[in-house]
Structure 1
Amino acid sequence: MDRYLDALEQELRLMAEELPWEPLQTVFFGGGTPTLFDVRQTERMLELLHRYFRLADGAEVSVEANPGTVNLEKLRMLKEGGANRLSFGVQSFDDSILKKLGRLHDSLTVYHSYEKARQAGFSSINLDLMFGLPGQTVDMFADSLRKIIDLQPEHISAYSLKVEEGTPFAVWQERGKLQLPPEEDDLAMYLLLMETLENKGYGMYEISNFAKNGHACRHNQVYWRNEPYLAAGAGAHGYVGGERYVIRHSVPEYIEESLAGRRPIVEREQISPEIQQEDTMILGLRLIKGVEHKRFRKRHGISLYEAFGDVIEQYVQKQWLQDDGTNVRLTRQALPLANEVFMGFLVS
């Protein structure tokens, strides 16, 4: 881990030298479990950020954590180092489900880690939930939902399980050994999620994200608005100047290349204007407020209807989209069908 931080320092130094950046508005430590670092390493991780980059006043600095990987000393170090938002990967409060997911924590650990985060002074906490999990019923999900609401986090993210290629779940599914809930139960869980959280004061601002007033994740909205973002660290993805890039995934290879004085970028792709328009539309429709006409024209130089008029009109007729003259957005009934709607905007 210390060598990884050595390599990260070299990458951050090179990145800061190459690009004359304005102060950062948001920072997100995640895509793994940065809280696996001990207290000393955690302090160094945050010190590297401040050494090579300036942060804007009021910048949002989020850190992902798995329950059980934090203690009070580490959490206080995160807070002192400038982190002001935590995101815990809870997934479920049912211990049998957590075992099936291969999680290292149980529900009791969630409560302990959450309490320590409050003691350390964090006033903006996200808890992740999942639904459509193996062996999960609607009642089991409802129980997890009640328990997460009882904790009163400022933000809740909830995602349906997606079986990714190359994972153990994908192998089990191919062998007929993965028993997932039927589609009607998966839909029932999503509808229950929306109704329950909105009744409890959580505004739905994205198809999988709910927040109390003032606590919507600013960093993730950068992605959904298809705006540029820097990336550093093994396996990270960035998007700058219309170019997407990927950092080397293998940690040993990342360390070797970075310590040799090279940015360990393994893929670069210049995104065409047509694909940028497609991305702005598909990502933007994830937001409940949708895609703004004015923002789209300013970004791409053409109107939404010049780019996607036929698709928008077709989906308005189907009552999957609505256009109030300012924004084009998903209708309430189309939220569970979002992926099907997005397919219509693929131009390649």
Structure 2
Amino acid sequence: MRKSLYVHVPFCEQICHYCDFNKFFLKNQPVDEYVEAAVEEMKKTAAAFPQHEFIETIYIGGGTPTSLSSTQLKHLLEAIPNNFTLADTTEWTVEVNPGSADKEKFEMIKQAGVNRLSIGAQTFDPDLLQKINRDHKPAQVEETIRLAQDAGIDNLSIDLMFGLPGQTMEQWKDTLSQAAALPIKHISAYSLKIEPKTVFYQMLNKGTLKLPEQELEAEMYEYMLQFLREEGFQAYEISNFARNREESLHNLTYWDNNEYYGIGAGAHSYMDGVRRRNHGPLPKYLKAIAEDKLPYLEENPVSRKEMMEEEMFMGLRKRLGVSKKKFENRYDQTIDQAFPGIITGLKQQGLLEETDYYIYLTETGLLLGNEVFEQFLAG
């Protein structure tokens, strides 16, 4: 079941201190060459792994896709329906940094077929924006939303972060209040994770990074759950909230453990039971395409046991949880047969609940999700 496509644009006009995605400072990069290579990879991928179903979700991520010029971005977007067959109702998302796109760029994006935007707000506190090295002002979030709506794109999501260096509960409450007041349909809100090869990782090792206590971070999460529920945002995944059932269908592809195409430097894909990762460095990625190869750095066949493990720890991220019937249909055995005793033990600890149809995290389990997920990897 492969109905989704991810395309990676690895260029940024400024590098955030927390970001560990494959990205490069835009200036002096071979952007035109990269766009052509990504288009060529689409052609090669579509030929090597023919579609059996319509593409129902597309996500253009980064990096900052809107750091491309309108001409470059248009070429990349138009190549997608030229190489893949889309459904009439395809959800097509582009990541946007506030202030990174003008009226003309949004109109071009809309005309190309994009119908959803994910806007990287992160916080509405100007001091925190500076600490994490974001290059936009809080007011530019609302301006970006207005420009998008004027262009006819009204399925809008914003990204938020909590647990930021020096962040207080009052700052977090203010950010949530400002976010909920916007005409948006979706919020993704993630706690800060310090990843290797980031500026924050270096600062942490030097002892110069002051992070909130874990207890405060947990309080921020619990407050967010209650506040967003009151504001009409339903939690459908640990870190994702939607008004009026406007969930991110693309993200659900991952949490439902479905296969997907991945295009671009450093992109991941899951096709025909094999997880693949593309070369990340631009020279290696471009060289592979120039040599008429698919740009895979590694290919890892997923065993049946690994598929079942992934079904559980990704599916349990969803508030609905893991479907017992879907699991049994996919793997010809029940969850209890695949993981004997684990569900019972986690229920006794108050971390899981079970109905006739689903197994899902309790409110306590939400806070201890990683501990729950580890139970399905122990064997």
Q: Give the TM-score of the pair, scaled to structure 1.
A: 0.98
How far does residue 112 in structure 1 lie from its aligned partner after superposition? 1.7
- Aligned pairs for 1:1-348 within 5 A: 1-21=31-51, 22-347=53-378
| Aligned 8 A contact 1:10 1:259 in 2 | no
Q: Distance in 2 between matches of 1:5 and 1:175?
A: 38
Which secondary structure state, in structure 2, belongs to the residue aligned with residue 275 of structure 1?
helix
Q: Distance in 2 between matches of 1:32 and 1:48?
A: 19
How far does residue 10 in structure 1 lie from its aligned partner after superposition? 1.1
Q: Distance in 2 between matches of 1:152 and 1:334?
A: 31
Q: Distance in 2 between matches of 1:91 and 1:147?
A: 12
How far does residue 102 in structure 1 lie from its aligned partner after superposition? 1.0
Q: Distance in 2 between matches of 1:34 and 1:152?
A: 23
| Aligned 8 A contact 1:31 1:236 in 2 | no
| Aligned 8 A contact 2:49 2:271 in 1 | no
Q: Give the TM-score of the pair, scaled to structure 2.
A: 0.90
Q: Which has the higher helix share?
A: 1
Q: Distance in 2 between matches of 1:166 and 1:282?
A: 26
Q: Distance in 2 between matches of 1:264 and 1:333?
A: 42
| Aligned 8 A contact 1:274 1:347 in 2 | no
- More moved, 255-264 vs 186-195: 255-264
| Aligned 8 A contact 2:54 2:85 in 1 | yes
How far does residue 213 in structure 1 lie from its aligned partner after superposition? 1.4
Moved over 6 A (4+): none
| Aligned 8 A contact 1:63 1:87 in 2 | yes
Q: Distance in 2 between matches of 1:190 and 1:135?
A: 16
Percent identity over the alignment is: 38
| Aligned 8 A contact 2:64 2:97 in 1 | yes
How far does residue 300 in structure 1 lie from its aligned partner after superposition? 1.4
- More moved, 257-266 vs 76-85: 257-266
Structure 1 portions without partners, runs of 5+: none
| Aligned 8 A contact 2:110 2:152 in 1 | yes
| Aligned 8 A contact 1:43 1:78 in 2 | yes
Q: Distance in 1 between matches of 2:333 and 2:295?
A: 36
Query: For 1:233-256, what per-residue CA distance to the aligned partner results, in whole angstroms no more than 9, with x for missing partners?
Result: 111000112210001101232122
Which secondary structure state, in structure 2, belongs to the residue aligned with residue 231 of structure 1?
strand
| Aligned 8 A contact 1:129 1:159 in 2 | yes
Structure 2 portions without partners, runs of 5+: 1-30
Which secondary structure state, in structure 2, belongs to the residue aligned with residue 229 of structure 1?
strand
